[in-house]
């Protein structure tokens, strides 16, 4: 028997140990791999100063004290209820057994090497640990990332633990894989942030926009119209300025898509883009103020701010992203496919996606740096060119600062008072500085960027993997590395292309207005039915709240009332229900907040009960104010569309 301190790493009959371990593995694919596995390089078990393993000449645990090393790592780790502990590397499992004993949080063991994993599963009995609901083992990083995405919540903290030996053993990929894990976690948090802070707003904007959306032409109509041609997607990164003269010289050899923040730079250099892409739900028309747009096609999302939809442009095209709930809702009521249409929260990604759907066989990115280069955040003359990223030696970190705070405030906001604009600018800067991140550049150096851009890198890379028939080129030779894109200068990427005859788009699309009205009326009826339920629950929650404050006794009657309120909340938010999507989208933040509260309560007592009652009351109070507002918006849409 192998005793790991007081933790049983039971070394008995090898076959029996292995059988017990794999019988409780939660990953069936990994089980099949291991059953049929044969060593490539067999690890060497040693017994100097405790049990250890040597692999490719490297000891996986401390040679002085293997157990003490893992104990120290365990003591320094987070141990909150909402933590996810990711252990990079199994070794002989000291750290896994310690974490499984002391933490009730989710524990993910990632061992990329099957030699080591197979060897340890034959030597050490982990069946007690693996039987726990909170312990998982992965050998495939993609599977781990998928699991992480599904199990991360808005208040989850991810704690990555690793033995020092694994950094040395996998020095070629260790940092890169850790970054992928961090980005996957960050992407989930961004998604939660979107759902909490933007989903309500984007849904309301989409609903209010329906009358004007029905006058716009979906991008679907123009799939593959530029088959075999070359497109340039222009963003406002620092290297845009370096490519301006080349783009100006060869602009007739490509169809040009630009984001709003880069338009000013292009126009001031006599470059005329064919498509302007803007997806923001807030009013950012200041980006294109005083620019003649009459010969430019505008591409928007259903939730894009009404003032952007109303810009005086040549044509307005509607991009319907399948991964943006409000866009998917509109696509459903007008019976349009969203397959392959994506936005991923960034307008440059939407521009790239549109170019793909229009059939371009070669797509060139310009100014897509996704990092801050030489202290510059955006290209010269772009909407936000007044921001710099500088190293603060006193704080020993990078920070983003405006060269002129008033000018920056005016650039991001075209309304409110100057005082309010400055306050909004300061909040934006605080968010940017709280999320600074370091990424690998094309030349291998490390660059600062914001967490949002860092997650966009993974989005671009993932998207590129599926575009095997399209030549993708990134001309930002100083920015973040985008795997799947060839790194070329703009000159080399475009000089040999032929001049493209730009097409006049056949604008117009016949929507089934009656069907649209029927769908909106159904949504309104569903909300009216839901309102009846939430009104009753609101009354019950208010009475319960008052009664419990007056007489704080946890009796059967109070528990039944709490159960009733939770049951109705659960029914309303049932993911299998497709008839109440507007409700789910416009109350997502409230649902997430209440879910976090309820999921943290393991037992109802004199401390947790008033928290639950108060949270339930707050939930139903907000719904009973919000739902009537949405019903009013739908009524207005029905009247306008029906005219």
Phi-psi region of 344 (alpha: psi -120 to 50; beta: other; left: phi over 0): left
Poorest-pLDDT segment among 14-28, 69-83, 365-379, 521-535: 69-83
Q: Where are the domains of the chain?
A: 3-195, 211-370+451-494, 513-642
State the fold for domain 3-195: Rossmann fold (3.40.50)
pLDDT of 152 strictly over 80: no
pTM above 0.85, yes or no: no
CA distance 447 to 391: 11
Query: Whole-angstrom Cα distance, residue 367 to residue 476?
Result: 6
pLDDT (0 to 100) of residue 193: 57
Helix or strand holding residue 349 (H, E)? helix 347-357
Residue 10 has pLDDT above 50, yes or no: no
Q: Of 5-19, 72-86, 408-422, 590-604, where does the model show the most confidence? A: 590-604
Of 57-66, 159-168, 397-406, 527-536, the one with minimum mean pLDDT is 397-406
The percentage of residues in the chain with a pLDDT greater than 70, rounded to a whole number, is 89
Question: Mean pLDDT lowest for which of 89-98, 336-345, 503-512?
Answer: 336-345
pLDDT by residue (tens digit) across 37-95? 889 999 999 988 889 999 999 999 998 898 888 888 887 765 555 678 889 999 999 99
Q: How confident is the model at residue 323 (pLDDT cuts 50, 70, 90)?
A: confident
How much is the pLDDT for 384?
Answer: 67
- What pLDDT is attached to residue 4? 39
User: What is the C-alpha separation between 244 and 140, in angstroms, rounded?
Assistant: 43
Tell me the C-alpha distance between 319 and 348, whole Å.
13
| Helix (H), strand (E) at residue 356 | helix 347-357
8 A C-beta contact, residue 485 and residue 473: yes
What is the CB-side half-sphere exposure of residue 638 using CA atoms within 13 A? 15
CA distances from 11 to 8, 96, 119 (A): 9, 16, 12
pLDDT, tens digit, 9 for 90 and up, residues 360-397:
999 999 999 887 777 665 666 666 667 777 777 776 77
Alpha-carbon gap, residue 106 to 153, rounded angstroms:
12
**By mean pLDDT, which of 190-194, 481-485, 610-614 is the weakest?**
190-194
Alpha-carbon distances of 450 from 148, 190, 193, 400, 493, rounded to whole Å: 21, 12, 15, 10, 28
Position 383 scores a pLDDT of 60
Contacts of 588 (CB under 8 A, 6+ apart): 195, 196, 199, 200
Using the predicted structure, report yes or no on whether residue 337 has a pLDDT greater than 60. yes
Residues 6+ apart with CB under 8 A from 490: 243, 246, 247, 250, 364, 366, 475
pLDDT at position 215 over 90: yes
Q: What is the mean pLDDT of the chain?
A: 87
What residues pair up with 396 in beta bridges, in sequence order? none
In 10 A of CB 508, how many CB atoms?
10
Measured between alpha carbons, how far is 139 from 154 in angstroms, rounded to an integer? Answer: 26
What are the pLDDT digits (tens) for 127-139? 999 998 889 999 9
pLDDT of residue 438: 73
Using alpha carbons, select from 259, 146, 147, 152 the residue that is nearest to residue 195. Answer: 152
pLDDT of residue 115: 93
Residue with tokens 């060119």: 385
Bridge partners (DSSP) listed for residue 467 = none
Residue 390 pLDDT: 76
3-state SS record for 160-205: EEECHHHHHHCCCCHHHHHHHHHHHHHHHHHHHHHHHHCHHHHHHH
Beta strands per DSSP E along 313-361: 315-318
Residue 326, classified by CB atoms within 10 Å of its CB into exposed (0-12), middle (13-18) or buried (19+), is: buried
First to last CA, the chain: 82
**What does the pLDDT read at residue 162?**
87
Examine the pLDDT at 3 and tell me if it is beyond 70.
no
Question: Measured between alpha carbons, how far is 184 from 587 in angstroms, rounded to an integer?
Answer: 25
453 vs 531, more confident:
531
Query: Does the pLDDT of residue 6 top 60, yes or no?
Result: no
Q: What is the pLDDT of residue 268?
A: 94
CB 372 within 8 A of CB 449: yes
List, edge to edge, every strand of the sheet that includes 58-59: 44-46, 52-55, 58-59
Question: Do 585 and 324 contact (CB within 8 A), yes or no?
Answer: no
Most confident of the following: 176-180, 247-251, 387-391: 247-251
How far does Cα 336 stand from its chain's mean position?
25
Give residues with Cβ within 8 angstroms of 573, minimum separation 6: 584, 591
Does 31 score more than 80 pLDDT? Answer: yes
Which helix H or strand E contains 592, and what residues bound it?
helix 588-599
Helix axes 513-550, 608-642, angle to 10 degrees: 160
> Is residue 82 a contact partner of residue 117, using CB atoms and an 8 Å limit?
no
Say if residue 5's pLDDT is above 70.
Answer: no
Q: Phi and psi at residue 85, in whole multiples of 5°?
A: -90, 120
- Give the rounded percent of residues in the chain with a pLDDT score beyond 90: 51
Q: Which segment, 141-155, 303-317, 589-603, is predicted with the most confidence on average?
A: 303-317
| CA contacts within 13 A on the Cβ side of 491 | 3
d(CA 502, CA 116): 59
Which of 524, 520, 629, 630 has its CA nearest to residue 213?
520
What confidence tier does 408 reach under pLDDT thresholds 50, 70, 90?
Answer: confident
């Amino acid at each position: 028997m192998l005793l790991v301190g007081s933790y049983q790493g039971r070394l008995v009959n090898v076959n029996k140990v292995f059988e017990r371990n794999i019988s409780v593995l939660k990953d069936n694919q990994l089980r099949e791999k291991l059953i049929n596995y044969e060593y490539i390089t067999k690890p060497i078990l040693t017994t100097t100063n405790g049990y250890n393993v040597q692999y490719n000449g490297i000891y996986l645990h401390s040679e002085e004290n293997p157990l003490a090393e893992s104990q120290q790592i365990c003591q320094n780790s987070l141990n909150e209820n909402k933590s996810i502990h990711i252990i990079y590397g199994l070794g002989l499992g000291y750290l896994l057994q310690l974490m499984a004993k002391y933490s009730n949080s989710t524990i993910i063991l990632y061992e990329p090497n099957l030699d080591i994993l197979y060897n340890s599963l034959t030597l050490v009995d982990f069946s007690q640990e693996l039987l726990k609901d909170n312990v998982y083992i992965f050998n495939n990083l993609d599977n781990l990332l998928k699991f992480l995405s599904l199990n991360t919540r808005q208040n989850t903290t991810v704690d990555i633990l690793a033995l020092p030996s694994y950094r040395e053993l996998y020095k070629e990929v260790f940092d890169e894989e850790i970054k992928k894990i961090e980005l996957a976690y960050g992407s989930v948090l961004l998604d939660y942030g979107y759902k909490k802070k933007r989903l309500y707003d984007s849904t309301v904007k989409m609903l209010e926009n329906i009358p004007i959306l029905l006058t716009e032409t979906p991008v679907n109509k123009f799939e593959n119209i530029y088959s075999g041609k070359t497109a340039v997607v222009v963003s406002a990164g620092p290297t845009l300025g370096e490519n301006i003269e080349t783009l100006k010289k060869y602009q007739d050899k490509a169809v040009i898509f630009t984001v709003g923040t880069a338009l000013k730079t292009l126009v001031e250099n006599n470059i005329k883009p064919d498509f302007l892409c803007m997806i923001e739900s807030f009013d950012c028309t200041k980006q294109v103020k005083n620019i003649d747009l009459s010969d430019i096609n505008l591409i928007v999302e259903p939730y894009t701010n009404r003032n952007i939809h109303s810009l005086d442009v040549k044509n307005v095209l509607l991009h319907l992203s399948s991964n943006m709930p409000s866009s998917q809702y509109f696509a459903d009521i007008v019976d349009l496919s969203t397959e392959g249409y994506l936005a991923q929260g960034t307008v440059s990604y939407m521009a790239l996606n549109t170019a793909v759907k229009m059939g371009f066989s070669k797509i060139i990115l310009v100014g897509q740096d996704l990092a801050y280069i030489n202290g510059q955040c955006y290209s010269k003359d772009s909407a936000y060119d007044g921001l710099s990223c500088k190293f603060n030696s006193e704080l020993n970190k990078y920070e983003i600062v405006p060269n002129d705070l008033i000018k920056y405030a005016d650039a991001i906001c075209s309304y409110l008072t100057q005082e309010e604009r400055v306050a909004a600018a300061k909040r934006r800067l605080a968010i940017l500085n709280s999320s600074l991140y370091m990424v690998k550049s094309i030349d291998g150096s490390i660059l600062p960027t914001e967490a949002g851009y860092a997650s966009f890198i993974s989005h671009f890379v993932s998207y590129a993997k599926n575009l095997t028939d399209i030549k993708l080129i990134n001309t930002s030779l100083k920015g973040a590395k985008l795997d799947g894109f060839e790194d070329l200068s703009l000159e080399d990427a475009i000089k040999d292309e032929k001049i493209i005859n730009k097409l006049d788009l056949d604008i117009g699309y016949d929507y089934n207005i009656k069907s649209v009205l029927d769908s909106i009326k159904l949504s309104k009826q569903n909300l009216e039915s839901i309102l009846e339920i939430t009104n009753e629950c609101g009354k019950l929650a208010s009475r319960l709240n008052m009664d419990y404050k007056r007489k704080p006794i946890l009796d059967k009657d109070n528990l039944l009332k709490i159960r009733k309120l939770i049951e109705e909340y659960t029914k309303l938010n049932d993911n299998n229900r497709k008839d109440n999507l507007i409700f789910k989208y416009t109350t997502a933040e409230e649902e997430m907040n209440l879910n976090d509260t309820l999921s943290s309560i393991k037992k109802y007592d004199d401390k947790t009960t008033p928290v639950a009652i108060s949270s339930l009351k707050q939930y139903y109070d907000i719904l009973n104010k919000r739902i009537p507002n949405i019903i009013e918006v739908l009524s207005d849409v029905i009247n306008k569309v029906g005219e």
